[in-house]
Amino acid sequence: MKITRFYLSIIALPAILNCTAQKKVAPLLPVLKDVFWNDFSVGTALSALQIEGRDHKADSLVKKQFNVLTPENSMKSMFLQPEWGKFDFRIGDRLTDYAAKNNMQVVGHTLIWHSQLPAYAQTIRSKDSLQAFFNNHIRTVAAHYDKKVLGWDVVNEALNEDGTMRPSIFQRLLGDDFVTEAFRLAQEASPNSELYYNDYNNEQPAKRAGAIRLIKKIQGAGVRIDGVGIQGHWHIGKVPFDDIEKSILEYSALGIKVMFTELDIEVLPRNFTGAEVNQRMRNTNDTALNPYTAGLPDSVQKQLADDYAQLFRLFLKHRDKISRITFWGVNDGQSWLNGWPVPGRTNYPLLFDRNYQPKPAYYAVIATKQQ
Protein backbone atom coordinates (compact mmCIF):
# COMPACT_ATOMS: atom_id res chain seq x y z
CA MET A 1 0.00 0.00 0.00
CA LYS A 2 2.81 2.42 0.84
CA ILE A 3 4.66 1.70 -2.40
CA THR A 4 1.47 2.05 -4.37
CA ARG A 5 0.82 5.49 -2.93
CA PHE A 6 4.31 6.64 -3.84
CA TYR A 7 4.21 5.48 -7.41
CA LEU A 8 0.72 6.85 -7.90
CA SER A 9 1.97 10.21 -6.64
CA ILE A 10 4.91 10.15 -9.07
CA ILE A 11 2.76 9.06 -12.02
CA ALA A 12 0.15 11.65 -11.21
CA LEU A 13 2.61 14.47 -10.65
CA PRO A 14 2.46 16.00 -14.18
CA ALA A 15 -1.34 16.07 -14.05
CA ILE A 16 -1.25 17.55 -10.57
CA LEU A 17 1.17 20.25 -11.67
CA ASN A 18 -1.10 21.08 -14.61
CA CYS A 19 -4.05 21.23 -12.23
CA THR A 20 -2.00 23.49 -9.98
CA ALA A 21 -1.41 25.93 -12.82
CA GLN A 22 -5.13 26.09 -13.50
CA LYS A 23 -6.52 26.08 -9.96
CA LYS A 24 -3.51 27.36 -8.00
CA VAL A 25 -3.47 24.48 -5.52
CA ALA A 26 -0.30 23.04 -3.98
CA PRO A 27 1.22 20.06 -5.78
CA LEU A 28 1.30 16.70 -4.05
CA LEU A 29 4.81 15.99 -2.78
CA PRO A 30 6.37 12.54 -2.80
CA VAL A 31 6.62 11.10 0.71
CA LEU A 32 10.04 10.20 2.08
CA LYS A 33 8.86 7.30 4.23
CA ASP A 34 6.97 5.82 1.27
CA VAL A 35 9.71 6.37 -1.28
CA PHE A 36 12.17 4.41 0.89
CA TRP A 37 9.63 2.02 2.40
CA ASN A 38 11.42 -1.11 1.15
CA ASP A 39 14.87 0.25 2.00
CA PHE A 40 14.99 1.77 5.50
CA SER A 41 12.93 3.86 7.90
CA VAL A 42 13.14 7.64 7.56
CA GLY A 43 12.92 9.64 10.76
CA THR A 44 13.29 13.08 12.25
CA ALA A 45 14.11 14.63 15.62
CA LEU A 46 11.40 16.61 17.39
CA SER A 47 11.82 19.51 19.80
CA ALA A 48 9.76 19.74 22.98
CA LEU A 49 7.63 22.45 21.34
CA GLN A 50 6.84 20.10 18.46
CA ILE A 51 6.14 17.15 20.75
CA GLU A 52 3.72 19.32 22.72
CA GLY A 53 1.85 20.14 19.50
CA ARG A 54 2.65 23.86 19.44
CA ASP A 55 4.24 23.80 15.98
CA HIS A 56 1.34 23.01 13.66
CA LYS A 57 3.29 23.29 10.41
CA ALA A 58 5.83 20.80 11.72
CA ASP A 59 3.05 18.48 12.84
CA SER A 60 1.56 18.32 9.37
CA LEU A 61 4.93 17.72 7.73
CA VAL A 62 6.05 15.09 10.25
CA LYS A 63 2.86 13.05 9.94
CA LYS A 64 3.23 13.01 6.18
CA GLN A 65 6.95 12.46 5.65
CA PHE A 66 8.41 10.39 8.52
CA ASN A 67 7.80 7.10 10.31
CA VAL A 68 10.34 7.20 13.17
CA LEU A 69 10.67 9.96 15.77
CA THR A 70 13.57 10.81 18.08
CA PRO A 71 13.26 13.36 20.89
CA GLU A 72 15.91 16.00 20.29
CA ASN A 73 16.36 16.64 24.03
CA SER A 74 13.30 15.57 25.99
CA MET A 75 14.48 12.06 26.96
CA LYS A 76 17.91 13.12 28.16
CA SER A 77 18.52 12.65 31.88
CA MET A 78 18.41 16.35 32.78
CA PHE A 79 14.78 16.43 31.63
CA LEU A 80 13.60 12.96 32.64
CA GLN A 81 15.13 13.04 36.16
CA PRO A 82 15.52 16.73 37.02
CA GLU A 83 15.65 15.90 40.74
CA TRP A 84 17.24 12.85 42.28
CA GLY A 85 14.73 10.01 42.17
CA LYS A 86 11.95 12.21 40.75
CA PHE A 87 11.11 11.39 37.16
CA ASP A 88 9.13 13.55 34.76
CA PHE A 89 7.81 11.41 31.89
CA ARG A 90 5.18 13.85 30.63
CA ILE A 91 6.80 14.97 27.38
CA GLY A 92 8.28 11.56 26.63
CA ASP A 93 4.88 9.96 27.17
CA ARG A 94 3.27 12.50 24.92
CA LEU A 95 5.77 11.56 22.20
CA THR A 96 5.14 7.81 22.48
CA ASP A 97 1.36 8.38 22.54
CA TYR A 98 1.62 10.60 19.45
CA ALA A 99 3.71 8.01 17.64
CA ALA A 100 1.33 5.18 18.48
CA LYS A 101 -1.65 7.22 17.30
CA ASN A 102 0.04 8.01 13.97
CA ASN A 103 1.56 4.59 13.27
CA MET A 104 5.11 5.76 13.93
CA GLN A 105 7.93 4.43 16.08
CA VAL A 106 10.10 6.19 18.68
CA VAL A 107 13.80 5.89 19.37
CA GLY A 108 14.74 6.91 22.91
CA HIS A 109 17.68 9.31 23.10
CA THR A 110 19.57 8.76 25.36
CA LEU A 111 19.96 6.74 28.57
CA ILE A 112 23.60 7.54 29.39
CA TRP A 113 25.44 10.62 28.13
CA HIS A 114 28.07 12.66 29.93
CA SER A 115 26.50 15.89 28.65
CA GLN A 116 23.10 17.36 29.59
CA LEU A 117 23.15 15.62 32.95
CA PRO A 118 20.97 17.00 35.75
CA ALA A 119 22.83 19.60 37.82
CA TYR A 120 23.03 17.33 40.88
CA ALA A 121 24.58 14.50 38.84
CA GLN A 122 27.32 16.76 37.53
CA THR A 123 28.55 17.34 41.09
CA ILE A 124 28.75 13.67 42.12
CA ARG A 125 32.24 12.76 43.28
CA SER A 126 31.85 9.25 44.72
CA LYS A 127 31.68 6.00 42.78
CA ASP A 128 28.82 4.67 44.93
CA SER A 129 26.64 7.73 44.39
CA LEU A 130 27.21 7.76 40.64
CA GLN A 131 26.57 4.01 40.44
CA ALA A 132 23.27 4.52 42.26
CA PHE A 133 22.22 7.26 39.84
CA PHE A 134 23.40 5.20 36.85
CA ASN A 135 21.57 2.02 37.87
CA ASN A 136 18.36 3.71 38.94
CA HIS A 137 18.12 5.95 35.91
CA ILE A 138 18.60 3.17 33.37
CA ARG A 139 16.29 0.72 35.13
CA THR A 140 13.49 3.22 35.73
CA VAL A 141 13.51 4.92 32.32
CA ALA A 142 14.07 1.80 30.23
CA ALA A 143 11.37 -0.11 32.10
CA HIS A 144 8.90 2.78 31.79
CA TYR A 145 9.26 2.84 28.00
CA ASP A 146 9.54 -0.90 27.38
CA LYS A 147 7.15 -1.84 24.54
CA LYS A 148 6.67 1.89 23.85
CA VAL A 149 9.91 2.58 21.99
CA LEU A 150 11.54 0.78 19.09
CA GLY A 151 14.98 1.16 20.65
CA TRP A 152 17.33 3.17 22.84
CA ASP A 153 20.57 5.00 22.28
CA VAL A 154 21.81 3.31 25.44
CA VAL A 155 25.16 5.11 25.56
CA ASN A 156 25.99 8.25 23.61
CA GLU A 157 29.49 9.48 22.68
CA ALA A 158 31.70 7.40 24.98
CA LEU A 159 34.80 7.61 22.74
CA ASN A 160 37.58 10.07 21.99
CA GLU A 161 38.54 10.81 18.38
CA ASP A 162 41.43 8.33 18.60
CA GLY A 163 39.09 5.54 19.66
CA THR A 164 40.07 5.49 23.33
CA MET A 165 37.51 5.90 26.08
CA ARG A 166 36.43 9.49 26.73
CA PRO A 167 37.34 10.56 30.30
CA SER A 168 33.72 11.37 31.19
CA ILE A 169 32.30 11.33 34.70
CA PHE A 170 31.10 7.78 34.04
CA GLN A 171 34.48 6.52 32.81
CA ARG A 172 36.41 8.23 35.62
CA LEU A 173 34.26 6.92 38.48
CA LEU A 174 32.84 3.67 37.08
CA GLY A 175 35.65 2.58 34.75
CA ASP A 176 35.70 1.52 31.11
CA ASP A 177 33.14 -1.23 31.72
CA PHE A 178 30.35 1.27 32.33
CA VAL A 179 29.24 0.93 28.70
CA THR A 180 28.82 -2.84 28.91
CA GLU A 181 27.02 -2.46 32.24
CA ALA A 182 24.65 0.14 30.77
CA PHE A 183 23.67 -2.29 28.01
CA ARG A 184 23.25 -5.09 30.57
CA LEU A 185 20.89 -2.99 32.68
CA ALA A 186 18.95 -1.78 29.63
CA GLN A 187 18.61 -5.34 28.35
CA GLU A 188 17.12 -6.43 31.68
CA ALA A 189 14.78 -3.44 32.06
CA SER A 190 13.63 -3.20 28.43
CA PRO A 191 13.73 -6.65 26.82
CA ASN A 192 11.39 -5.55 24.02
CA SER A 193 13.49 -2.61 22.82
CA GLU A 194 16.51 -2.60 20.53
CA LEU A 195 19.75 -1.32 22.08
CA TYR A 196 22.20 0.94 20.22
CA TYR A 197 25.56 2.62 20.69
CA ASN A 198 25.52 6.15 19.20
CA ASP A 199 28.42 8.50 18.36
CA TYR A 200 29.70 11.16 15.96
CA ASN A 201 32.77 10.77 13.72
CA ASN A 202 32.61 7.01 14.30
CA GLU A 203 32.89 6.59 10.56
CA GLN A 204 36.47 7.90 10.84
CA PRO A 205 39.11 5.10 10.93
CA ALA A 206 40.53 5.54 14.45
CA LYS A 207 37.22 6.18 16.15
CA ARG A 208 35.57 3.42 14.13
CA ALA A 209 38.22 0.98 15.34
CA GLY A 210 37.51 2.06 18.91
CA ALA A 211 33.77 1.61 18.42
CA ILE A 212 34.33 -1.85 16.99
CA ARG A 213 36.43 -2.79 20.04
CA LEU A 214 33.68 -1.45 22.29
CA ILE A 215 30.95 -3.39 20.48
CA LYS A 216 32.97 -6.60 20.54
CA LYS A 217 33.55 -6.11 24.27
CA ILE A 218 29.82 -5.84 24.87
CA GLN A 219 29.14 -8.89 22.72
CA GLY A 220 31.97 -10.81 24.39
CA ALA A 221 30.35 -10.23 27.78
CA GLY A 222 27.19 -11.92 26.51
CA VAL A 223 25.26 -8.65 26.54
CA ARG A 224 22.89 -7.67 23.75
CA ILE A 225 23.68 -4.79 21.41
CA ASP A 226 21.47 -4.51 18.33
CA GLY A 227 22.91 -1.61 16.39
CA VAL A 228 25.32 1.27 16.02
CA GLY A 229 24.30 4.82 15.26
CA ILE A 230 26.55 6.95 13.04
CA GLN A 231 25.32 10.46 13.77
CA GLY A 232 26.19 11.93 10.37
CA HIS A 233 26.95 15.56 11.29
CA TRP A 234 28.92 16.39 8.14
CA HIS A 235 29.99 19.48 6.21
CA ILE A 236 29.07 20.51 2.69
CA GLY A 237 31.63 19.43 0.12
CA LYS A 238 33.47 17.35 2.72
CA VAL A 239 31.19 14.38 3.34
CA PRO A 240 33.54 11.39 3.90
CA PHE A 241 31.83 8.97 1.52
CA ASP A 242 34.62 6.37 1.43
CA ASP A 243 34.85 6.21 5.23
CA ILE A 244 31.07 6.00 5.50
CA GLU A 245 30.98 3.01 3.17
CA LYS A 246 33.81 1.24 4.99
CA SER A 247 31.99 1.83 8.28
CA ILE A 248 28.73 0.37 6.98
CA LEU A 249 30.59 -2.77 5.92
CA GLU A 250 32.69 -3.14 9.06
CA TYR A 251 29.89 -2.49 11.55
CA SER A 252 27.42 -4.76 9.77
CA ALA A 253 30.07 -7.53 9.78
CA LEU A 254 29.63 -7.57 13.57
CA GLY A 255 26.07 -8.79 13.08
CA ILE A 256 24.40 -5.54 14.12
CA LYS A 257 22.22 -2.96 12.40
CA VAL A 258 23.69 0.26 11.04
CA MET A 259 21.78 3.52 11.42
CA PHE A 260 22.42 7.15 10.53
CA THR A 261 20.85 8.80 13.51
CA GLU A 262 21.35 12.59 13.49
CA LEU A 263 21.84 13.46 9.84
CA ASP A 264 22.50 17.03 8.73
CA ILE A 265 24.99 18.67 6.36
CA GLU A 266 26.33 22.01 7.56
CA VAL A 267 26.86 24.78 5.00
CA LEU A 268 28.59 27.39 7.19
CA PRO A 269 32.33 27.84 7.88
CA ARG A 270 33.79 25.76 10.71
CA ASN A 271 37.40 24.98 11.62
CA PHE A 272 36.82 21.55 13.16
CA THR A 273 34.76 18.44 12.45
CA GLY A 274 32.42 16.38 14.58
CA ALA A 275 29.74 17.33 17.06
CA GLU A 276 31.39 17.90 20.42
CA VAL A 277 28.78 20.16 22.02
CA ASN A 278 31.31 21.85 24.32
CA GLN A 279 33.45 23.11 21.43
CA ARG A 280 33.10 26.70 20.28
CA MET A 281 34.67 28.86 17.60
CA ARG A 282 36.50 32.09 18.39
CA ASN A 283 35.80 35.47 16.81
CA THR A 284 32.08 34.75 16.85
CA ASN A 285 31.32 38.35 15.83
CA ASP A 286 33.06 37.83 12.49
CA THR A 287 30.40 38.27 9.80
CA ALA A 288 32.33 35.86 7.56
CA LEU A 289 31.16 33.06 9.85
CA ASN A 290 27.53 33.84 9.04
CA PRO A 291 27.52 34.60 5.29
CA TYR A 292 24.01 33.53 4.26
CA THR A 293 21.65 35.56 6.42
CA ALA A 294 19.72 36.68 3.33
CA GLY A 295 19.38 33.20 1.89
CA LEU A 296 21.44 30.38 0.44
CA PRO A 297 23.14 31.06 -2.93
CA ASP A 298 22.14 28.75 -5.77
CA SER A 299 25.66 27.31 -6.03
CA VAL A 300 25.63 26.29 -2.35
CA GLN A 301 22.08 24.97 -2.66
CA LYS A 302 23.24 22.80 -5.56
CA GLN A 303 26.27 21.49 -3.66
CA LEU A 304 24.04 20.60 -0.72
CA ALA A 305 21.65 18.74 -3.03
CA ASP A 306 24.54 16.92 -4.72
CA ASP A 307 25.98 15.83 -1.36
CA TYR A 308 22.63 14.52 -0.14
CA ALA A 309 22.05 12.69 -3.43
CA GLN A 310 25.45 10.99 -3.32
CA LEU A 311 24.85 10.08 0.31
CA PHE A 312 21.48 8.49 -0.39
CA ARG A 313 22.86 6.61 -3.37
CA LEU A 314 25.36 5.11 -0.95
CA PHE A 315 22.61 4.31 1.55
CA LEU A 316 20.60 2.58 -1.17
CA LYS A 317 23.63 0.57 -2.26
CA HIS A 318 23.78 -0.86 1.27
CA ARG A 319 20.07 -0.89 2.05
CA ASP A 320 20.35 -4.48 3.29
CA LYS A 321 22.61 -3.31 6.13
CA ILE A 322 20.96 0.01 7.06
CA SER A 323 17.77 0.06 9.11
CA ARG A 324 17.14 3.79 9.64
CA ILE A 325 18.03 7.29 8.46
CA THR A 326 17.03 10.06 10.89
CA PHE A 327 17.39 13.77 10.08
CA TRP A 328 18.33 15.89 13.08
CA GLY A 329 15.43 18.30 12.88
CA VAL A 330 12.30 18.90 10.84
CA ASN A 331 13.40 22.11 9.12
CA ASP A 332 16.35 24.49 8.87
CA GLY A 333 14.98 26.90 11.45
CA GLN A 334 14.90 24.17 14.10
CA SER A 335 18.44 22.91 13.52
CA TRP A 336 20.84 22.99 16.45
CA LEU A 337 23.48 24.19 13.98
CA ASN A 338 21.95 27.68 14.09
CA GLY A 339 23.31 28.00 17.63
CA TRP A 340 26.46 25.85 17.56
CA PRO A 341 29.42 26.27 17.46
CA VAL A 342 28.61 29.94 16.87
CA PRO A 343 25.41 31.33 18.42
CA GLY A 344 22.81 33.01 16.24
CA ARG A 345 23.91 31.84 12.81
CA THR A 346 21.58 31.14 9.88
CA ASN A 347 22.21 27.55 8.80
CA TYR A 348 20.59 25.41 6.10
CA PRO A 349 21.51 21.76 6.81
CA LEU A 350 18.22 19.89 6.25
CA LEU A 351 15.79 18.98 3.45
CA PHE A 352 13.06 21.49 4.39
CA ASP A 353 13.52 25.26 4.70
CA ARG A 354 12.34 27.62 7.43
CA ASN A 355 8.89 27.76 5.85
CA TYR A 356 8.67 23.94 5.84
CA GLN A 357 9.02 23.89 2.09
CA PRO A 358 11.12 21.25 0.29
CA LYS A 359 14.57 22.36 -0.88
CA PRO A 360 16.48 21.14 -3.94
CA ALA A 361 18.18 18.64 -1.60
CA TYR A 362 14.79 17.05 -0.89
CA TYR A 363 14.11 16.51 -4.60
CA ALA A 364 17.66 15.22 -5.09
CA VAL A 365 17.10 12.62 -2.36
CA ILE A 366 13.77 11.55 -3.89
CA ALA A 367 15.40 11.28 -7.30
CA THR A 368 17.90 8.67 -6.10
CA LYS A 369 15.07 6.13 -6.23
CA GLN A 370 14.42 6.95 -9.88
CA GLN A 371 18.00 6.44 -11.08
Phi/psi for 359 (5° steps) reads: -95, 170
Tell me the DSSP string of 54-112: --HHHHHHHHHH-SEEEESSTTSHHHH-SBTTB---HHHHHHHHHHHHTT-EEEEEEEE
What is d(CA 69, CA 80) in angstroms, rounded to the nearest whole number?
17
262 is catalytic: yes
- With a CB cutoff of 8 Å and minimum separation 6, the contacts of 230 are 199, 202, 203, 244, 247, 251, 258, 259, 260, 261
* Catalytic residue of the set 181, 194, 203, 262: 262
Exposed, middle or buried: residue 147 (CB in 10 Å: 0-12, 13-18, 19+)? exposed
**Are 34 and 6 within 8 A, CB to CB?**
yes
* Catalytic residue of the set 72, 157, 203, 266: 157
Distance of CA 204 to the CA centre of its chain: 18
What is d(CA 277, CA 272) in angstroms, rounded to the nearest whole number?
12
- With a CB cutoff of 8 Å and minimum separation 6, the contacts of 195 are 151, 152, 154, 183, 186, 187, 224, 225, 226, 227
250 is catalytic: no
Active-site amino acid positions? 157, 262
